[in-house]
Amino acid sequence: MLLAIIGAAAFGATLLGGLFALRFSDKLHLVLGFSAGAVIGVAFFDLLPEAISLGGTQFEVSAITSIVALAFLVYLFLDRFVMLHAHTEEDGHGHSAALGAGSLSIHSFLDGLGIGFAFQVSPAVGFIVAAAVLTHDFSDGINTVNLVLKNGGSRKDAFRWLLADAVAPVLGIVATFFFALPTAALAVILASFCGFFIYIGASDLLPESHHRHPTIWTTIATALGILTLYVAVSFAHF
């Protein structure tokens, strides 16, 4: 029952974030700036520390950071390959949107897995992880919508991906009732998504946020996104 409530809260937080982005699409450059900071904040303040912690004695810290760097390069080549081999510019944007939004949805699924496995350890650990996930689910919804709209997708496409992203953590929680994932494997997955998110934030969302817009306001929005995720994650682990 408790996990069902947390799953519903994750779904609602993600959906509200995406609807916010759709409603204020005319201010998309500011939302993109905030989203860039939020994605980078999630990578450094949430995914990377969790990957290092889960790796424990099985991986050196240098091994975890190497996985992050490798994942960054993999995403870079995937993104550039899709763009260069698309038949039209519009098709290329569509593939890029699917790649980014799909990555965010998979990350949300892993969030659900994290919640479920944490509660298997103890209720206290479960509540801490759940709080950390819920605090950035709102940003996940914003990021998903922004990636689709920025890459030429329609509002209908953005809403479909938003629903996928909102359902993903619920499916992740449900999945933990059927299998157990070794902590070493989860550490590698989290480190990989850290690299993906650094690329998405720094190489995709951030440049687009200040394209033809005043840099000072988008820069402030990006700093606010980073600060918001820092405070949220710190509060969740307090």
**Which pLDDT tens digit goes with each residue over 171-227?**
999 998 887 778 888 889 889 888 988 988 888 777 767 665 667 888 898 999 899
Q: In the chain, where are the structural domains located?
A: 2-236
**CB atoms near residue 9 (< 10 Å):** 15
Name the more confident of 92 and 114: 114
Q: CA–CA separation, 31 vs 20, rounded Å?
A: 9
pLDDT grade for 62, boundaries at 50, 70 and 90: very high
Q: Which residues of 181-208 are buried (b: 16+ CB within 10 A; e: fewer)?
A: eeeeebbbbbbbbbbbbbbbbeebbbeb
- What pLDDT was estimated at residue 82? 57
Q: Which pLDDT score is estimated for 190?
A: 85
Q: Which residues contact 149 (CB under 8 A, 6 or more apart)?
A: 21, 25, 28, 155, 158
Q: Is the pLDDT of residue 64 over 90?
A: yes
Give pLDDT, residue 90: 45
Going by pLDDT thresholds of 50, 70 and 90, the confidence category of residue 68 is very high
Give the C-alpha separation, 238 to 234, whole Å. Answer: 6
